[in-house]
Amino acid sequence: MAESQGYRVLWYTEWLSSQEAHIHAIKRIIFDGYTKYQRVTLAETGSFGLTLFLDGYAQSSEYDEFVYHEALVHPAMLTHPKPEKVLIIGGGEGATLREVLKHPTVKRAVMVDIDGELLEIVKKYMVKWHQNCFNDPRAEVVVADGKKYLEETSETFDVIILDLTDPTKGTPGVQLYTKEFYEEIYDKLSKDGVMVTQATSTRYNIDAFSVINNTVASVFPVERPYKAHVATFYSEWGFALGSKSRDPLGIPRNELSERLGRLGLKFLDEEIFYHLFHFPRYLKEKMQQYKQISTVAQPFQIEL
């Protein structure tokens, strides 16, 4: 607690790297506790409104969660000509599922998250995120290890979306960014299948972002890195898209315009869609410095 203009204010420090931190003024704590897998803090912050922190890091805020989730979901969904079956691994807030279900072609959407306790917290306190999408008849929510689910399912999907934690050293997430895992995804995709993964910060982890894209490109014939600025993360946030056939930059303009127009999005429009895939020269040059492909034997890991 600290004094600020005569009021007692709680300050929450979020360490972005060993060299930098952001301090949030907390107006109210809605929930703070531990699940089996992580510390969960849900608080009303001064700058970003209601914000979910996992293990001390902002996961999403009501200020701009839609920017991240629209950027994660829709480029892959639009790249597939007619996505009907979708698998989400991760995505505990329910917002990734919410965005998937905006597509009228979707008949089945399976969301697999390992943390059932987090899901219960989300359902109770984060209605602005999930908007009751868990009750949509097309949706199925499975509490399970996403890697194990993928390995054991006999289903194939048109789109697979990986809304995961970063590949931080010493965490199980490291294995979800390897060539072997992406090969498993490739096998569980339909003929024109598309996958996308969050790929960390292009500011703090340009090495991780580059290696993730290298690794996806080692498996998929079409691979596109892209990014979107997410103010809550103080960074352009990276993504990696892999496609079995269609290039997102090859979608006919009239099709892109028509399909985007049906979605009623807040952030993504036709102009921004193309901007997502455009990188300034300095970032391209930095990305080219990293040649590694992450494998089970030699996985890339973010050092904190």
So which residues are the catalytic ones? 163
Q: Is 155 among the annotated ligand-binding positions?
A: no
Q: Is 38 among the annotated ligand-binding positions?
A: yes
8 Å CB contact between 24 and 51: yes
Q: Is 221 among the annotated ligand-binding positions?
A: no
Q: Is 92 among the annotated ligand-binding positions?
A: no
Contacts of 127 (CB under 8 A, 6+ apart): none
Q: Is 113 among the annotated ligand-binding positions?
A: yes
b/e string for 235-268 if b means 16 or more Cβ within 10 A? Answer: bbbbbbbbbbeeebeebeeeebeebbeebebeeb
Q: Is 93 among the annotated ligand-binding positions?
A: yes
Dihedral-angle region of residue 91 (phi above 0 means left; psi in -120 to 50 means alpha; beta otherwise): left
8 Å CB contact between 246 and 81: yes
Beta bridge partners of 39: 34
Cα separation, 188 vs 153, whole angstroms: 8
Cα separation, 249 vs 232, whole angstroms: 28
| Residue 145, token pair as written in the block | 């290890």
Q: Is 172 among the annotated ligand-binding positions?
A: yes
Residues annotated in the binding site for S-methyl-5'-thioadenosine, as ranges? 38, 113, 145-146, 172
